[in-house]
Structure 1
Amino acid sequence: MAPLEQQSSSAPDPRRWKALALLCTAYFMIIVDSQIVILALPSIESELSFGLTGSQWVMSAYLLAFGGLLLFGGRTADMLGGRRMFMVGTALFLVASVVCGFAWTGGVLIAARIVQGVAAAIMAPTAMAVLMNTFDDAKERNRAIGVWTGIGAFGATAALLVGGSITQGLGWEWIFFINIPLAGVVLVIGPRLLRETPIRSRERAFDPFGAITVTGALVLLVFGVAEAPQVGWGSVRTLGVLVAAAVLFALFLIAERSVKAPLVPLRIFRLRALVGGNIMTLLVSMATYGGALMMSIYAQQVLGYSAILFGLSTAIYAAMSIVGSNLAGPLTTRFGYRKVAMFGATLLSGGAYLLSRVTVGGDYWTDLLPAMVVFGAGIGTTVVASAIAALSDVPAGESGLASGINNSVFQIGAAFGIALCTTVLVANTDALATDPRVGLNEGVQAAFLATFVFAAVCLAVAVILTLLRKRTSSPPV
């Protein structure tokens, strides 16, 4: 391994909790911007004269750029320094947000959203790399990851809480302008609070072919999966995109075996905890995003809630996710991430099963609230345990890469969860039912059962990791 230009100090950084607050502010902004446009799309479409489906790219452009470039963004932390690249990403995010707010055509808005996604792909993994380097004590690091994850969960819900209100009160432009003061604070205070991460002094050469192929593969994979429910999983378009993604990924793996300074050293996948943690991250993300979409459809199209009312009703869901994520840190320190992952995945499975029992005649208090409490706590707990597993055994000089992998897996899981649950929903909705709500509810129940399967498989992975650890730690007979 190449020597590191910097080594973290053995003494705790006295500014570490303030640094965490600043990093969480940036992460909150990134997550909010991935969903805040949902309730603003009708206004954007009307004002900028998008086509019938063009406005959907205001959201998709951001997510594709974000998900596709996360690995490359994470690697920049190891090559150029996490703090340095985090500040570059934040500045780029600020500029893109200003252009989004002043966009005069749909094309300009979509282009600016792509730049926002690129900036987010730099910010998210580099911020996590800085966090990992700031907290040297394992107990404090687990707690910090718990706080970070809770902020992410709250950001996703806050997007629904505030998006509609801002759009109706101030105009859709302000869902982007609110980023200006947040990004400004990060840029002003960041250099004073944040500690630079270790930099590899002998491996600064980038791997352009690896970056292009893996980014192309991830973008095509997310795009193909996201579009599959509309065009069909067996359509020429879907199959062609997925095959192209597989080819690019194969080329990437071949190149990484021979290049001198690979974007992703394949040896990192020998870490059992990293592989297991990322598998759990994939599954919990599928359950989280698939379940959230089905909750929205059930509340709005079966129970008749407005979008704003549904957003407000999810407050308990976000609160329980924060509770679960903050408990997961100290619990992991005491019991280990494997047991905490098993506990969290059990809650996740239980919540998904409760959701699969929703009825046409149900209401928020009997059908959604109890399930949201259990499901939300399971999300927070499992995501934290999975992230700790994926990052715990990684060398300091590759923390940015590991964070990029974990973030990429989470984004891919989100796309898969939404696409698969949507497919199950459509396949199981009874279009011939006398009451359309009854037919739709059948599809919603089936989709929630799919979410239960994702959570149950996540639980199985946690059990397998626990059994493998016991086997390897047992003394020979």
Structure 2
Amino acid sequence: MSQPGSPSLRTWLALAVYCTGSFTTMLNLGFLSPLLRPIGASFGVSDAVTGQLATLGALVTFVAALAATPWMDRWSRAAWYRLLGLLLLVGTLLSAAAPTFGVLVIARIVAALGASVVTANSMTGARELFPDAVWRNRAIGILVSATTFGFVAGLPAINQIAAHLNWRVAVASMALPVLIMIGGTWVLPPSSQFLASARQPALASFRAVLGSKRVRGILVALGLNLAMYTGWLVYFGAYITEVFSASAALLSTLFLISGLTELAANNLTPPVLRRFSAVPVLLVMLALAGGSLLLTGVAITTVPAALVAAIIILNTTAAAYIACNALLLEGDHSHPGAVMSVASAGIGLGNTLGPALVGWALAVSG
């Protein structure tokens, strides 16, 4: 299916399908940022309460990713993508039509189940498509760029649809990439790993993943990175709107500018990882992201300063994310899908803690 020197057209088409999954996951993760206030106003709940939809979704993702771990190397990527896409489609359409906040909560749970291991399958699929480490790291950068494209183009589009129509139409529009994701599964290759893994005990996957001290450390770093990213992302739109009275156009512009810089970082990080070890790159990026978060609201008190902080946070967390995945995907793993599924659980845990802590701070500060 793939050769280190010259990946085939079908290989690139398969990667494009995985990119659609990454794009879709970004929309489901980040749509609350531009729509937090209109959704809350529609149901008469506060920003802090509405923002906890992200916390709930992340918690569901954490549990679902752990539950999926024993099966990740038993089913093909195409089978996983069809199942996850169907759940995402149902959750998205139900979210758009939710008559009450309670129904919206149920809808987001269904969508979170669908999004739970999309990234895990995308990254594992990239490993299967590109055995060569150089090509694989490039593929990781492309996958993360697809996520960034959801930030650059998807979130501003959702914001504009909500501004000109309403938030329900904006949410319903997220079903379009899901349909493409499901329809594109015909180009995904059969997985050679899952047939052998099907004969092994279910808990063997957890032992293979968590038995490695190195993998455990990377998973902790990955969860911390996503906690910072998601906590910032969910409340960034509400922060800019509340503190600076930003219009929909200004908010879309901030998403666009900061996201465009992240696209560059996504494609510059793989060459950096060829020159420097991934571990120090990861640590430096985490330190820069944490420093920018701590300064927000203290030294960062203007729109230009908020834009600079957004650029730093997006670029450093993206680079850290690529470094983590490069470390997790390298080497000869007996359960590569399980490794990435547990990583998705770590991401889910980070995504749970990030919005929860920021939401708590928002509620306490009023």
Provide TM-score, normalisation by structure 1: 0.66
Please provide the CA RMSD for this pair.
3.4
Deviations 1:21-72 (A, max 9, x none): 221112211220223245445655666x677798667655543322321123
Which one of the candidate residues 354, 357, 361 is aligned to 1:420? 357
Task: Tell me if the contact between 2:95 and 2:171 (Cα under 8 Å) persists in the aligned partners.
Answer: yes
Question: What residue number does 1:124 align with?
Answer: 119
Deviations 1:314-358 (A, max 9, x none): 333222322222211122133231243244335435544654652
Mapped to 1, the partners of 2:100 and 2:359 lie a distance apart of 31
Question: What residue number does 1:315 align with?
Answer: 256
Which one of the candidate residues 24, 33, 40 is aligned to 1:29? 24
Mapped to 2, the partners of 1:40 and 1:400 lie a distance apart of 33
Question: What residue number does 1:463 align with?
Answer: none
Do the aligned partners of residues 88 and 275 (structure 1) sit closer, same or farther apart at CA in structure 2, a change above 3 Å counting? same
Question: What residue number does 1:262 align with?
Answer: 203
Do the aligned partners of residues 375 and 71 (structure 1) sit closer, same or farther apart at CA in structure 2, a change above 3 Å counting? same
Question: What residue number does 1:329 align with?
Answer: 270
Q: Does 1:290 align with 2:227?
A: no
Question: What residue number does 2:163 align with?
Answer: 168
Q: Does 1:399 align with 2:336?
A: yes
Mapped to 1, the partners of 2:56 and 2:286 lie a distance apart of 31
Secondary structure in 1 matching 2:74:
helix
Task: Tell me if the contact between 1:273 and 1:393 (Cα under 8 Å) persists in the aligned partners.
Answer: no
Deviations 1:136-158 (A, max 9, x none): 11001111112222332442465
Which one of the candidate residues 87, 106, 117 is aligned to 2:82? 87
One-letter amino acid of the structure 2 residue matched with residue 380 of structure 1: A
One-letter amino acid of the structure 1 residue matched with residue 229 of structure 2: T
Aligned residue runs from structure 1 range 321-400, under 5 A: 321-349=262-290, 351-352=292-293, 355=296, 357-358=298-299, 362-365=301-304, 367-393=305-331, 395=333, 397-400=334-337
Aligned-pair distance for 1:384?
0.8
Aligned residue runs from structure 1 range 124-203, under 5 A: 124-156=119-151, 158=153, 160-201=155-196, 203=198
Deviations 1:205-237 (A, max 9, x none): 7xxxxxxxxxxxxxxxxxxxxxxxxxxxxxxxx
Task: Tell me if the contact between 2:163 and 2:248 (Cα under 8 Å) persists in the aligned partners.
Answer: no
Aligned-pair distance for 1:81?
2.0
Mapped to 2, the partners of 1:387 and 1:74 lie a distance apart of 17
Task: Tell me if the contact between 2:63 and 2:345 (Cα under 8 Å) persists in the aligned partners.
Answer: yes
Mapped to 2, the partners of 1:347 and 1:296 lie a distance apart of 21
Secondary structure in 2 matching 1:115:
helix
Question: What residue number does 1:72 align with?
Answer: 67
Do the aligned partners of residues 195 and 322 (structure 1) sit closer, same or farther apart at CA in structure 2, a change above 3 Å counting? farther
Task: Tell me if the contact between 1:149 and 1:380 (Cα under 8 Å) persists in the aligned partners.
Answer: yes
Which one of the candidate residues 186, 205, 215 is aligned to 1:274? 215
Mapped to 2, the partners of 1:296 and 1:180 lie a distance apart of 22
Question: What residue number does 1:252 align with?
Answer: none
Question: What residue number does 1:221 align with?
Answer: none
Matched pairs, number: 363
Give the structure with higher Rg (CA). Answer: 1
- Counting aligned pairs with the same residue, the percent is 21
Aligned residue runs from structure 1 range 387-466, under 5 A: 387-393=325-331, 395=333, 397-423=334-360
Secondary structure in 1 matching 2:150:
helix
One-letter amino acid of the structure 2 residue matched with residue 313 of structure 1: L
- 5+ residue gaps, structure 2, are none
Task: Tell me if the contact between 2:140 and 2:326 (Cα under 8 Å) persists in the aligned partners.
Answer: yes
One-letter amino acid of the structure 1 residue matched with residue 312 of structure 2: V
- The more displaced of 154-163 and 317-326 is 154-163
Secondary structure in 1 matching 2:82:
helix
Task: Tell me if the contact between 1:28 and 1:155 (Cα under 8 Å) persists in the aligned partners.
Answer: yes
Do the aligned partners of residues 164 and 154 (structure 1) sit closer, same or farther apart at CA in structure 2, a change above 3 Å counting? same
Deviations 1:336-381 (A, max 9, x none): 312432443354355446546525xx4223x223333333321221
Do the aligned partners of residues 336 and 263 (structure 1) sit closer, same or farther apart at CA in structure 2, a change above 3 Å counting? same
Question: What residue number does 1:452 align with?
Answer: none
Aligned-pair distance for 1:413?
1.6
Do the aligned partners of residues 295 and 56 (structure 1) sit closer, same or farther apart at CA in structure 2, a change above 3 Å counting? closer
Do the aligned partners of residues 126 and 295 (structure 1) sit closer, same or farther apart at CA in structure 2, a change above 3 Å counting? closer
- The more displaced of 100-109 and 386-395 is 100-109
Provide TM-score, normalisation by structure 2: 0.83
Task: Tell me if the contact between 2:54 and 2:355 (Cα under 8 Å) persists in the aligned partners.
Answer: no
Mapped to 2, the partners of 1:308 and 1:387 lie a distance apart of 34
Aligned-pair distance for 1:389?
1.7
Question: What residue number does 1:230 align with?
Answer: none
Do the aligned partners of residues 374 and 159 (structure 1) sit closer, same or farther apart at CA in structure 2, a change above 3 Å counting? same
